[in-house]
Amino acid sequence: MTSESRIIAGADFAFIRDSAALVFVSCTDGVYRVERERAWKPGEKPLRPSVVFAEAMADVDEMGAESFCCDDHYLASVLEVTEECDVEHIRFPSASDAIAEAFVRVRVLFGARRIDLTLASDELVSELKETTGRPTPGGGFTISHPRKPGSHGDRARAFISAIYAHEFGGGVAFNSDAPMTGGARRIQRKSRHPLPGDAPGYMQDLPPRR
């Protein structure tokens, strides 16, 4: 990495049925590169949030990440640990349309060859390829992931969160669920970031790793 690289951590927290995941993404000259991943999978007993948060913040410190982005699950705990570690917290949107638009934006970045998955795990690549999207009544769009033992698209969500923070961390008020392109419009099939047609996987046609 060069001195101009910025690193942001994206996370998706779950402690009982699903995994907690952490993905570090750097940005150098407009290219986003996965640098490191970590996942905590529940066993016979649920994960201990205090342990996961402590280990996650230790990784954030080691990687020198300047920001930490996740959704509002366990928001109070996230705010507490990020404040204690003096790390900027960026809220990933919770509205389904805004989430869908975040995934659409990443698909566009893949098409522009601005994402490098060289160091990405097979699990992350698989979760991205298995992500699906479907229209909802009223012109909206929703994103879903297949449920597997101990996983529900957690790495993919963490990765998308990191890209979201890189793209808009300095230019959007994160105290709202505004879609990534601004405003409150719903995503339509005629939007400037076209949605996939009838492909079984939302990102099934990801380009090869760089």
- Residue 55 sits in a domain whose CATH number is 3.30.420.240
Query: What CA–CA distance (Å, rounded) separates 130 from 105?
Result: 17
**Is residue 176 one of the residues assigned to a domain?**
no
**Is residue 183 one of the residues assigned to a domain?**
no
- How many domains would you assign to the chain? 1
**Is residue 158 one of the residues assigned to a domain?**
yes
- 126 burial via Cβ count (<10 Å: 0-12, 13-18, 19+): middle
**Is residue 103 one of the residues assigned to a domain?**
yes
Query: What CA–CA distance (Å, rounded) separates 41 from 87?
Result: 25
Output the pLDDT for position 41: 87
**What is the block-wise mean pLDDT of the chain (210 residues), using blocks of 10 residues?**
77 81 94 95 83 93 93 85 89 85 88 92 89 76 70 86 84 37 31 35 54
**Is residue 187 one of the residues assigned to a domain?**
no
42: containing domain:
6-168
Output the pLDDT for position 168: 78
Give, for 126, the enclosing helix (H) or strand (E): helix 122-130
Q: Supply the DSSP string of 147-190, one letter for each residue.
A: -BTTBSSHHHHHHHHHHHHHHHTTTS-TTS---TTSSSPPP-TT
Output the pLDDT for position 206: 58
Write down the pTM of the prediction.
0.78
